[in-house]
Structures are given as C-alpha cells and as structure tokens.
Amino acid sequence: MSETPFRNPGWAGNTGEFDLTEEQVRGEDFVGDRPAHGGHASGAGAMPYMLAEKNPDVALFEGEYQERFEKILTRYPTKQAALLPALGLAQEIRGYVSPDSMDRVAELLDLSPAYVRGVATFYTMYNKRPVGRHLVQVCTNISCNLNGADEVVEAFLRYTDTELGETSEDGHFTVIEAECLAACGFPTCVQINSRYFENVTPDQVPQICERLKSEGK
C-alpha cells in the first residue's frame, strides 16, 4: 500500500479510495508467478502480463507450454483462429514476439509467415522487441494531450533516464506513447502492463515508478 493512495490506483472503474494491488483484484494465479500451465482455463488465451523475467532464447511451446498451446487449439474451430492467443503465449514465454517466434507460430498453424507478420504487426499489444518489466504506455491522444500528456511522457522519460522506446538500464521500464486508451474522461491515462493509471500528472510519476519497483514485478 502506498502512503498516499492515488484517486485511481490503476484499475479502470476504481474511482474511490481504493488501493488494491493487482493480486488482490485478479488473484495471485494471474500475476507474477502465473503457473506455466496457465492456471485457470480462461487464462489460456489471455494476453500475457510482462511481470516475470523472460528468456528471449527459450524454446517455444515445450513442456507445459506445449500443453497450453494444444489446449488453445482445442478452443477454436480452425488453426488460423488460434493465431492471436498463440502469439500471446509466445510473448508470455519470450517477453516479445520476435520474427523467429512469428515464423514458428506460422509453421505450427499452417499459415504463411507473411500472414502472421501482418497480424502481429497490426496489434500494438504484441511487443516486436524486448521491453522492460514495466511497459509504460502514455496516451497522447486528444483528450490526454489537451490535459498535459506530453509533460507526463517527459516526466516518465526523465525518471527512467530513457528515450521513447528504450529500456532503462535496470530493466524496469520502457516508456512509449499510445493512442487513445478509452479512458478519455480521466486524462492523462497511462497503461502500465495490464494496469490503468488515470488522472496522472507529472509530479505523480516518481511515486508511481517507485511503487511499481517496490512491488518487485
């Protein structure tokens, strides 16, 4: 718990005096030590959280991940339909979706590499290169922009001592700009991994970053 709760500590819909951790809201199975087999059935196709340390060179879909991959396939009428969760699983394993991962997924799903590239590069939630433990996406679209989003971006870059898209030396943060995050009523909106921080101002940035680091994820 932080000493001064934010008005919204990071969960869309929380607008009162809440200060819940991600674990308290989603359950520990979904956070950090999420079991390799995927935990809950509904988690098989869920977007990964970039909380654990990733190994970009580890083999894809082996052991428990092979079981999860096969489980994903059973949930869709065609292999092609399983493409999004398969890419999500690849990202969960390696931390990002490399060209090599895309080719492997294409092979396993009997799709052309070009088709998989087209899909993976269309969706911004697939990281096409490694990112820090905390991917900070600051909305700089119209509502947030009119309310100081550029200054919020600057504050994150200053705190993390990075340029846009660069990962901080300690591996904790990668800061990027995002298009509208659908929280236009609460500018500036910042999505960090799967959490939303709303009404963010530049002076809150150090406190947010310290809190994330202290959570150890």
| 21, 143, 199, 207: residue in contact with ligand FES (rule CB under 6 A) | 143
Does 181 interact with ligand FES (rule: CB under 6 A)?
yes
Structure tokens of 198?
């709303």
Count of positions on this chain that bind ligand FES (CB under 6 A): 12
In whole angstroms, give the CA distance from residue 200 to residue 116. 36
Does 31 interact with ligand FES (rule: CB under 6 A)?
no
| 153, 187, 190, 211: residue in contact with ligand FES (rule CB under 6 A) | 187
Q: How far is the CB of 205 from ligand FES (least distance, A)?
A: 16
Residues 49 and 93 sit within 8 Å (Cβ to Cβ): no
Q: How far is the CB of 25 from ligand FES (least distance, A)?
A: 20
Q: How far is the CB of 190 from ligand FES (least distance, A)?
A: 9
In whole angstroms, give the CA distance from residue 115 to residue 194. 27
In whole angstroms, give the CA distance from residue 33 to residue 38. 10
What is the chain's length? 217
Pairing type for strands 195-197 and 190-192 reads antiparallel
Q: Which residues are near ligand FES by CB under 6 A? A: 139, 141-144, 180-184, 187, 189
